[in-house]
């Protein structure tokens, strides 16, 4: 058989590939958009394709490979370049195609879909890597005629699991050693590697005449699927899409919603894991807002950068003794399976196992972690009696919300929404700071958080639609659910004011084509704030700040109360994101510049001297 590989090329001289016959071409896209074919040239200067080929070969004694290397004048792999490669593979007599890459897009690429469907009609299966976050669309993996590959917790490379959809598979994508050019090796991780493993597995079965057609292959995959495997990337998470077509609003019962929207009241003492995660850092930084005692921080064994970060006198441990488990009744667990180091991931799995055996409660914001917990309970027959709370909104919760509280909200309570021009500007910190200032002035404040850690830091409810969103309801339902959450806050606290905020920037910094309204605008439109507070960055242009606020104001009758300027500048250099802090003089200069140009107060939200200004701006606005 011949195996097709679409990638960055292959170093055919590598010792891992010495039993392979390798041919191929390069498809190069020039600055004019022309795609040029370079025959018999498929050398790998990036290293990715060589690693993929070496993994496939590891399942076979020998193999024939046909490589299509993708390259361009700016090193960007575009949709049309990948599509052309798939079409060209059809005419090369390959028996299977491995694509350990993909294009992230909200719009279905129709030409690429046609290429994939043609392969399917000709009996050529395509195995393609899904995006690490399975909630994001990735093509060709998300086409119905493609085998879409995620990564799971798998020790043996020959193992895999077929999910409910016959075309969704999880395979070994954890930390592993792979070949790279110049006879070298490197460690890598991801769905790209998982894709290569499953390609190698099914090619081995093909050489043994265990399948010959795609229907045969699907049957073989099901018969050999290992059901004990669980995903590390939510690729085995079911997403419901049912709409509630008729809503009947019955007697309001907020007590029925408390256990759905808030963690258990029996939670008293908590431990945080993993230490280095942004959401966990936010809890530590704002621990005075926590509804629970934070008695312990747990770090991963191979983290070496924690010395830069303040624990605020909370004990920090990398190894737990039996006595340490008595310090907490609940483990607050973040996105621990995002950790790229397999040692750290295994540490997290063992920590969860030990907590389950001791009936510790869990507060989670990653659905895949809850799935891991369920799998451990089932596979290891753990008699677990604790509580598990996941910050999420799905159709099940939506229906209970509709059944217990009105989705019609009368705009009688003043409301503020914190928006921003970019990520990492302290929008969540701004919300907590304003809440604290208002409460210190005897205002009763309700808080709806879009950050999952809001469930720990005093939010009435959480609508976590940002990073790794766990909001799984259709966009048209957002208006009703968010209004219901506002009513829930109203019934629960009878607040003087409502506060919320978004994650990241409200609009893209550079123009993009989109066929639907961005989620952040859907949220702000549904919340319908009376006033805005906008976080900005030192390198923002005045035009972009204006476009950001205008985007929200075009859907809502609201005004900006003031701006909050972060002292940090985000820079992207050679694929690395860097945060650079302005000097005190530079920061003061930027504060003065933006205050003059924006004709509104521009402040440092962390400066307590601004508390009186914040209160006056809010009071004066709502006196109008």
pLDDT digits (tens, 9 = 90+) for 311-363: 999 999 999 999 999 999 999 999 887 766 788 888 999 999 999 999 999 99
Beta strands in 15-165 (DSSP E): 20-29, 35-39, 63-72, 96-99, 103-104, 126-129, 138-139, 147-152, 160-162
Among all chains, which residue has been given the structure tokens 């050679």? 574
* Rounded alpha-carbon distances, angstroms, from residue 429 to 172, 281, 503, 564, 590: 38, 11, 11, 11, 20
pLDDT value at residue 404: 82
Q: Which residue has the higher pLDDT, 251 or 371?
A: 371
User: Alpha-carbon distance 513 to 531, whole Å?
Assistant: 29
Least confident of 109-123, 386-400, 490-504, 572-586: 572-586
Mean pLDDT of 177-202: 89
Share of the chain above pLDDT 90, in %: 66
Among all chains, which residue has been given the structure tokens 């090796």? 185
pLDDT digits (tens, 9 = 90+) for 102-122: 987 777 889 999 999 999 999
Cβ 315 vs Cβ 297: under 8 Å:
yes
Least confident of 88-97, 117-126, 302-311: 302-311
CA neighbor of 394 nearest in space, from 131, 135, 130: 135
pLDDT at 304 over 90: no
Q: Which residue has the higher pLDDT, 420 or 409?
A: 420
- 41 a catalytic residue: no
DSSP structural state of residue 322: G
pLDDT at 257 over 80: yes
pLDDT value at residue 578: 76
**What integer best gives the mean pLDDT of the chain?**
88
pLDDT digits (tens, 9 = 90+) for 205-242: 999 999 999 999 999 999 999 988 866 555 454 432 12
pLDDT value at residue 237: 45
Active-site hit among 48, 289, 392, 480: 48
Active-site hit among 54, 148, 192, 415: 192
Just give the CATH number of 404-622.
3.40.50.300
How many other CB atoms are there within 10 angstroms of residue 393's CB atom?
25
CA neighbor of 454 nearest in space, from 543, 327, 365, 556: 365
pLDDT value at residue 345: 86
Q: Which residue has the higher pLDDT, 410 or 496?
A: 496
- Residue 443, C-beta contacts closer than 8 angstroms, at least 6 positions apart: 496, 497
- Residue 181, C-beta contacts closer than 8 angstroms, at least 6 positions apart: 11, 14, 43, 44, 45, 47, 50
> Any idea of the CA torsion for 51, 201, 141, 4, to the nearest 10 degrees?
60
- 7 a catalytic residue: yes
With left for phi above 0 and alpha for psi between -120 and 50, is residue 272 left, alpha or beta?
Answer: beta
pLDDT at 276 over 50: yes
pLDDT value at residue 251: 37
Residues of the chain with CATH 3.40.50.200: 2-223
The pTM (predicted TM-score) of the whole model is: 0.64
Residues of the chain with CATH 3.40.50.720: 264-386
DSSP structural state of residue 413: S
User: Alpha-carbon distance 116 to 90, whole Å?
Assistant: 10
Just give the CATH number of 2-223.
3.40.50.200
Mean pLDDT of 578-583: 87
Crossing angle of helices 110-121 and 79-90, rounded to 10°: 20
152: pLDDT confidence band, cut at 50, 70 and 90? confident
Q: Note the helical H segments in 413-535.
A: 427-440, 475-493, 519-527
Just give the CATH number of 264-386.
3.40.50.720
String of b and e for 51-67 (b: at least 16 CB within 10 Å)? bbbbbbbbbbeebebbb
Mean pLDDT of 402-406: 80
Burial of 475 (0-12, 13-18, 19+ CB in 10 A): middle
pLDDT value at residue 230: 67
User: Alpha-carbon distance 452 to 503, whole Å?
Assistant: 11
pLDDT value at residue 514: 54
Q: Which residue has the higher pLDDT, 528 or 187?
A: 528
pLDDT value at residue 259: 86
- 197 a catalytic residue: no
Among all chains, which residue has been given the structure tokens 């059944």? 403
User: Alpha-carbon distance 376 to 370, whole Å?
Assistant: 10
């Amino acid at each position: 058989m011949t195996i097709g590989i679409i990638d960055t090329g292959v170093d055919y001289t590598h010792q891992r590939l010495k039993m392979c016959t390798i041919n191929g071409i390069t498809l190069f896209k020039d600055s004019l958009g022309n795609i040029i074919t370079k025959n018999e040239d498929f050398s790998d200067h990036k290293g990715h394709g060589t690693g993929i080929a070496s993994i496939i070969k590891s399942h076979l004694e020998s193999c024939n490979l046909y490589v299509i290397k993708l390259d361009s004048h700016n090193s960007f792999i575009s949709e049309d370049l990948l599509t052309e490669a798939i079409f060209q593979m059809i005419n090369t007599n390959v028996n299977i195609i491995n694509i350990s890459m993909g294009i992230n897009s909200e719009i279905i690429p129709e030409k690429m879909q046609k290429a994939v469907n043609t392969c399917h009609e000709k009996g050529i299966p395509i195995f393609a890597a899904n995006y690490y976050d399975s909630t994001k669309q990735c093509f060709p993996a998300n086409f119905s005629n493609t085998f879409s590959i995620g990564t799971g917790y798998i020790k043996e490379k020959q193992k895999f699991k077929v999910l409910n959809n016959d075309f969704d598979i999880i395979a070994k994508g954890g930390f592993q050693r792979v070949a790279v050019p110049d006879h070298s090796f490197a460690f890598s991780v991801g769905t790209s590697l998982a894709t290569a493993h499953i390609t190698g597995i099914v090619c081995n079965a093909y050489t043994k005449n265990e399948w010959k057609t795609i229907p045969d292959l699907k049957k073989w995959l099901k018969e050999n699927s290992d059901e004990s495997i669980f995903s590390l990337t939510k690729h085995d998470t079911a997403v419901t899409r049912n709409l509630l077509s008729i809503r009947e609003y019955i007697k309001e019962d907020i007590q029925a919603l408390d256990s759905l929207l808030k963690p258990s009241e029996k939670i008293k003492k908590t431990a945080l894991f993993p230490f280095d995660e942004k959401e966990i850092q936010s809890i530590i930084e704002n621990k005075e807002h926590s509804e629970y005692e934070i008695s312990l921080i747990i770090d991963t064994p191979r983290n070496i950068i924690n010395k830069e970060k303040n624990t605020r006198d909370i004990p920090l441990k990398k190894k737990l003794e039996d006595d340490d488990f008595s310090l907490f009744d609940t483990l607050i667990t973040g996105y621990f399976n995002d950790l790229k180091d397999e040692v750290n991931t295994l540490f997290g799995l063992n920590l969860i196992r030990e907590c389950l055996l001791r009936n510790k409660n869990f507060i989670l914001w990653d659905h895949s972690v809850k799935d891991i917990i369920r799998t451990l309970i089932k596979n290891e027959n753990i008699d677990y009696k604790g509580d598990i709370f996941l910050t999420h909104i799905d159709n099940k919760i939506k229906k209970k919300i509709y059944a217990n509280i009105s989705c019609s909200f009368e705009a009688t309570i003043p409301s503020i929404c914190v928006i921003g021009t970019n990520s990492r500007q302290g929008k969540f910190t701004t919300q907590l700071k304003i809440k604290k200032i208002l409460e210190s002035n005897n205002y009763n404040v309700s808080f709806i958080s879009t950050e999952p850690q809001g469930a720990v830091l005093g939010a009435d409810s959480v609508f976590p639609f940002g990073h790794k969103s766990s909001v799984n309801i259709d966009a048209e339902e957002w208006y009703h659910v968010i209004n219901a959450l506002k009513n829930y806050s109203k019934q629960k606290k009878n607040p003087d004011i409502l506060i919320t905020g978004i994650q990241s920037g409200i609009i893209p910094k550079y123009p993009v084509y989109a066929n639907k309204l961005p989620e952040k605008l859907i949220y702000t439109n549904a919340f319908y704030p009376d006033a805005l507070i906008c976080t900005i960055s030192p390198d923002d242009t005045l035009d972009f700040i204006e476009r950001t606020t205008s985007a929200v104001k075009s859907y809502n009758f609201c005004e900006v109360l003031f701006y909050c300027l972060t002292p940090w500048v985000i820079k992207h250099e050679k694929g690395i994101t860097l945060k650079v802090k302005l000097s005190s003089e530079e920061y003061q200069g930027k504060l003065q510049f933006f205050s003059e140009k924006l004709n509104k107060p521009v402040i440092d939200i962390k400066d307590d001297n601004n508390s009186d200004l914040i209160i006056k701006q809010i009071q004066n606005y709502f006196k109008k």
